[in-house]
Structure 1
Amino acid sequence: MAYKALYRTWRPQYFSDIVGQRHITRTLQNALLQDKVAHAYLFCGPRGTGKTTTAKVLAKALNCLVPTSGEPCNDCENCRAVNEGNSVDVVEIDAASNRGIDEIRDLREKVKFAPSTGEKKVYIIDEVHMLTDQAFNALLKTLEEPPSHVVFVLATTEAHKVPVTILSRCQRFDFRRIKPDEMVGRLQEVAQGANIEVEEEALQLIAKAAEGGLRDALSILDQGAAFAEKTVTTEDIHSILGTVKQDILVKMTHCLAEGKAGEALKLVAEISNRGKDLRLFGREMTSFLRGLLVEGIEGRHTGIGNETLFSILQVLVQAEQEMKWSSQPALVLELALVKAARPEIAGTTEALSRRVAELEKRLEQGVVITAPRETVAQVEERTLGVNKQAQPDQTKISEPVEAVTSEPLVMAKTPIASDSATAEKIKKNWPALMKGIKEGKKMPLWSLLNSHQPDLEVQGHTLIMYFQEDFDMRTADKPEYRKYMEWLLGKHFDGQWEVRCVHGKKSMPRSAPTPENDPVYTEAVRIFGKDIVYLENDPD
C-alpha cells in the first residue's frame, strides 16, 4: 500500500478533533442540532488551519444517517463515501483551476438535481478568491437563492479579494492561527499514533516554525521522521529547517549588546559557512530579540537593558526588510550587525541615546568615569593648538606626567586659543582651501562651495558658514566634510579649528544712528529748513 502523508492520514474526522477552532465547530454543531444550517458559508483564514477539513466534516454531518450530538458517525455509507472521496453528494471544486464562467454555468445547471443518498448536496469551492469577475457574477444569483437541498461552503486564504456581494450572502467564519501549545499537544497525539519517537523540544521547535499552520507542522514532523535514524531530535529539525540553535542567538545578542562587532561578524561568517540561509537567520534574530524585549518590559530580568534591545531590534528589523530585495543579503546583514553593535559609527540620535543610557547605568552602579592621563605635549596640543608639523624642532617629552588627578570626566569643551586669522584672510586663501577639498576627493562639497560660496564669519578658531538653502547646509554639515574642513584650516592657519554650518543669512553689524533717522529731526527740518541758525546771546 502506498505511503500516506501524516496530514492526510491524521486529518480530523469529527468536530471535536479540529484543533484551535472551537468558536467555529461549536457554532456549526449547534446549527446542526437546531436545524439552522445556512445555505452558504465562507471559511477564511491562514493556510493549514482546518478550513477544508471543517467543510468535509460539515458535509458528513449533514448527510450522516446516524448523527450523534451534531457529529457524524463515520461508520455509515454516506460518511465512508465522503472519507474515501467518492460521494456524489459532496462536490469539491478547485477555483484556482476552474475559475472561468463556463465552469460556474455548469455548476448552476447541476445544483438543480436532488441529492442521491443524503439530504443535502454540498459544494465545497476551495480558493474561491481565484474566480474571475464574470464567474462571481454568474454564481451570485445561485448563491442568493439556491435550491433548498444545496449548501455552499466557500474557502479562501484571501477574503479581501472576494466581492462584497458574495460576502453579504454568506455566513463568515474566520479561522485563527493555532497556538503553539495546542499544536504541540496534537503533534504528540499524531507521533504516538504513528509510532514516531520525538523529543519534546523538537516538537516545540516544529510548532514555532509552522507559524500557526497545523498542516505545515505535520509535514515537518513527517520529514523529520524520515530524516532521523530513530528519535527525531532538535538537531534533526534544525538541519531540516536550516535554522540555528538558541545558544547561537544568545551569543549573537550578547555580542551586539556589548559592542563586539568583530565577534558578531565572525559568528555570522560561521553560520554562512554551515550553509544556513542568512535571511532566515535574520528573521530568527528579530523573533528572539522581540521575545527578550517583551520579557524585559514585563519586568523579567534579561541581563540586557530594554533601550539596548530596542535599538538593536530596530536595526535588524530594517535589515530583514532590505535583505528580501537585496542581491547581497550577507552584506546587508553584516552592515546591520556593525550598526547595532557600534551605533556611534552611524552617527544617529539612537546611537547618542544608547550611549547616554549606558553612562547613566554605569553612574547608577557607582562606576566613576575618569579622564585618561595625558602627556605634556598632548595637553599643550589640546589647549594651545600646537601644530607639530610646523614646529619639527620642538623638544619632545615622552615621560607621562599627570595633567590632572583622576577626577570624574567633565563633558565640557576645551577652550580654543584665539587666532589672528580673520574672515578676510580665509577669503583670500579660499582658492587654496578649494584646491585642498578637490585633492581630498570631496567632490560634492567642492561643487557646492564652488557654485555657492557661503558668507563667512570667524569667532576665535571657529569658522561659521552661512547657507541660504537648507539642502546646501545639510550637505556641507556632514561629519566627514566638517572634519576635513577643520583639518584644512589647521593646515593653512595653524591650531585646532571648528567648522559650523548655519542655515540663514549672516547678521550685518548695526550702523551708527544718524539724525536723518530721528523723527524729531525730520519734523524740525520740515518746519524750519536745513539752514543752521546761531542764536545770539545763547549761554551755550
Structure 2
Amino acid sequence: MAHIALYRSWRPQRFQEIVGQQHITQTLQNSLREGRFTHAYLFSGPRGTGKTSAAKIMSKAVNCEQGPADEPCNECDACRRITSGAVMDVIEIDAASNRGVEEIRDIRDKVKYAPTEVRYKVYIIDEVHMLTTEAFNALLKTLEEPPAHVIFILATTEPHRLPATIISRCQRFDFRRVSLQDQVGRLALISRQEGIEAEQEALEYIARLSDGGMRDALSLLDQIISFTGNRITYQDVLDVSGGVASEQFARLAAAIAKQEIGEVLQQIDGFMQEGKSAEKLLENLIYCYRDILMLKLLPNAEQLTDRLMDPSRFGEVLELYDKERIFRYIDILNHYQAEMKYSVQPQTLFEVAMMKLCSVDAVQQAAPAAEAGEAAKLARKVAALEQKLEQLLQTGLPAGAGGSAPAESKPAARTPARSSAPILRTAKLDEYIRVKDGPDLQQVRAQWSKVLQRVKETKITIYAWFIDGEPVSATDTAVLVAFKNTIHRETTEKPVNKQVIEQVLQEVCGKSLQLVTVMLKDWKEAASEEKQAPQEVLQLEPEDARNSGGHKEDWINEAIQMFGEDLVVIKDE
C-alpha cells in the first residue's frame, strides 16, 4: 500500500481531535447538541489550523445516522462515505480554481434540489477569498436564504478580502495558531503511534518552525522520518530544516557585539559550507535578537522565546547588549531582509548586513565628537555674522574710494518677511509646480486607471493604499502623486511597494518613471503660494547712503558675505 502523508492519515475525524481550537469546537458541538446550527459558516484563520477538517467533521455530524450529534460516529454508512468523499451531497469546492461567476451560478441553480443520499446538502468552499466580485454577487442571495436542506461552510486564510455583505450572512469562527505546547503534545502522540522515538527538544524545534500550523509541523515530521528512520534527534531536525542551533547563534551574536568582523565572516562561511540558506539565516537572526530583547525586558520570558531552545546559554550575550542596541540591529536586519528578496547574491548581502552591524556602533560613538566639532564651528561663524550685522546697523557700510553709488542701483538682500519654513518645504516642489499642467501629466492621467488596475492585479494590498493618491504633476522622468492620508503615503513609499508601482508605471506608460509623493495639503499650499505676489524684500541701506561714498561692488560683496549668494538678488531699478 502506498505511503500516505502524515497530515492526511492523521487528519482529525472528530471535533475532540482538532488541536488548539477548543473555543470553536465547543461552540459547534453545543449548537449541534441543541439543534441550533445555522445555514452558513465562515471559518477563517492561518493555514494548517483545522478549518477544512472542522468543515468535514461538521458535514458528518449533521448527516450522521445517529444524529445530528455533537460528534460523528464515524461508523455508519453516511460517516464513512463522507470521509472517503463518496457522497455527492457533500460538495467540496476549491475557489482558487473555480473562482468565476459561472461556477457559482451552477451552485445557485442546484441548491434547490433536495439531497439524495444524506439529510443535508453541504457545500464546503475552500479559499473563498479567491472568488471574483461577480461570483460573490451571485452567491449573496443564495447564501442569505438557502433552502432548509442546504448548509454552506466557507473557509479562508484572508477574511479581509471578503465583502462585508458575505461575512454578515455567516456565523464567523476565527481559528488561532496552535500553541507550542499543544503542537508538541500532538507530535509526541503521533510519534508514539507510528513507532518513532523522538527527542523532546527535536519535537519542540519542529513545533517552533511550523509557526502555529499543525499541518506544517506534521509535514516536517514526515520529512524528517524519511531522513532518519525511527529515531529523531535535535541535530537531525537542524540538518533537514536548514536551521542553526541556538548556541551557534549565541556565538555569532557575541562576535557581532564585540565587533569582531573576521570571526563573524568566518562563522558565516561555515554556515554556507553546511548548505545553510542566507535568507533563512537572516530570518532566524532577527528571531534571535527578538528573543534576546524579550529576555532583556521581561522577567521569566523563557516561554515567550521563539527560537532560543535554551536561554541559559545566552547569559554572556545578554550582558553584551542593551535594548537600544538590539532595536537598532533589528531595524538594520529588517531592511536587508526586504532587499534580499530581490537580490541575486543573497550571501553577499547577508555578509554586508553583518559588517554593517559590526560597524554601526563605532560610527555612532564617533558621531557625538564630530557633531560637537561642527556645532562649535557653526557657533563661531554665527557669532562673527552677528558682530558684522551689529556694526552695519550702527555705522553703516564702510566707505569706498570712489563716488557714491546711485540710490536706484542699491543691492537688495532678498529675505522672506515671514517664516522660511514654507519656502524650504516648497523649494523641492518648484519644478513640479512649473509643469503641473504640462503634457507629461496629461499623458499620465490618461493612463492612470490602467495603472491602478495593473497595481491591483499585481498586489491588491498595495492597491488599497495607492488608490488614495492622485497624480498632480509629472516630468519626463517622474510622477508626483498627492495623498490625503499620511499612512497611505508612508505605506506606498516603502521600498518594496514603491518598486512594484514604478514597474507598473514603466509597463503602462512605456518609459521609466520615478514615483514621488507629497501630502495633498502641502501641494495645494505650495501651488497657492506660487500665485501670490512676490515676497517682501528687505533692503540693506546704511544711514545717509547717498553720502557714504560706497562702491556698488563693496555693497554686493558685503551682502554676499553676510547672507550668502542664495539670498542676495541684485536689482537695478
TM-score range, shorter chain: 0.5 to 0.7
Shift of 1:68: 8.6
> Tell me, what secondary structure is at the counterpart of 1:37?
coil
Distance of 1:134 and 1:352 partners within structure 2: 59
Shift of 1:16: 0.9
Shift of 1:308: 2.9
Task: Single out whichever of 41-50 and 328-337 deviates more from structure 2.
Answer: 328-337
Shift of 1:117: 3.6
* Structure 1 outlier segments of 4+, above 4 Å: 468-472, 510-517
C-alpha contact 2:286 2:334 (8 A) present in aligned 1: yes
CA deviations on 1:80-100 (whole Å, 9 max, x unpaired) are: 111111122211111122222
C-alpha contact 1:178 1:213 (8 A) present in aligned 2: yes
2:26 alignment counterpart: 26
Distance of 1:73 and 1:303 partners within structure 2: 58
1:323 alignment counterpart: 340
1:90 alignment counterpart: 90
Give the AA of the match of 2:296: G
2:269 alignment counterpart: 269
TM (norm. structure 1) is: 0.64
Distance of 1:122 and 1:252 partners within structure 2: 55
CA deviations on 1:283-307 (whole Å, 9 max, x unpaired) are: 0000011011011011466323323
> Tell me, what secondary structure is at the counterpart of 2:172?
strand
Shift of 1:108: 1.8
Distance of 2:90 and 2:367 partners within structure 1: 65
Q: Is 2:344 the counterpart of 1:341?
A: no
CA RMSD after TM alignment = 3.1
Seq. identity, %: 45
1:258 alignment counterpart: 258
- Identify unmatched segments of 5+ residues in structure 2: 301-314, 378-383, 385-422, 428-539, 548-573
CA deviations on 1:201-225 (whole Å, 9 max, x unpaired) are: 1111111111111001000000111
C-alpha contact 1:256 1:312 (8 A) present in aligned 2: no
**1:7-86 alignment runs, 5 A limit:** 7-67=7-67, 70-86=70-86
Shift of 1:469: 8.9
C-alpha contact 2:32 2:68 (8 A) present in aligned 1: no
Q: Is 2:6 the counterpart of 1:6?
A: yes
1:248 alignment counterpart: 248
Shift of 1:330: 1.9
Shift of 1:116: 2.5
C-alpha contact 2:61 2:69 (8 A) present in aligned 1: no
2:189 alignment counterpart: 189
Shift of 1:184: 0.6
Aligned residues: 372
Instruction: Choose 1 or 2 for highest CA Rg.
Output: 1
Shift of 1:12: 0.8
Shift of 1:186: 0.6
Distance of 1:8 and 1:220 partners within structure 2: 13
Structure 2 CA distance for partners of 1:63 and 1:471, relative to 1, 3 Å: closer
Q: Is 2:211 the counterpart of 1:211?
A: yes
Structure 2 CA distance for partners of 1:66 and 1:219, relative to 1, 3 Å: same
C-alpha contact 1:344 1:352 (8 A) present in aligned 2: no
CA deviations on 1:227-253 (whole Å, 9 max, x unpaired) are: 004311122211221111212111110
**1:211-230 alignment runs, 5 A limit:** 211-230=211-230
Q: Is 2:303 the counterpart of 1:303?
A: no
CA deviations on 1:70-123 (whole Å, 9 max, x unpaired) are: 111111111111111112221111112222222222212221121234321111
Task: Report the structure, 1 or 2, having the larger helix content.
Answer: 2
TM (norm. structure 2) is: 0.60
2:116 alignment counterpart: 116
C-alpha contact 2:33 2:68 (8 A) present in aligned 1: no
Shift of 1:261: 1.6
C-alpha contact 1:257 1:308 (8 A) present in aligned 2: no
Give the AA of the match of 1:174: D
1:130 alignment counterpart: 130
C-alpha contact 1:15 1:25 (8 A) present in aligned 2: yes
CA deviations on 1:158-205 (whole Å, 9 max, x unpaired) are: 112222221111111111111111111111111111111211111111
C-alpha contact 2:62 2:69 (8 A) present in aligned 1: no
C-alpha contact 1:59 1:122 (8 A) present in aligned 2: yes
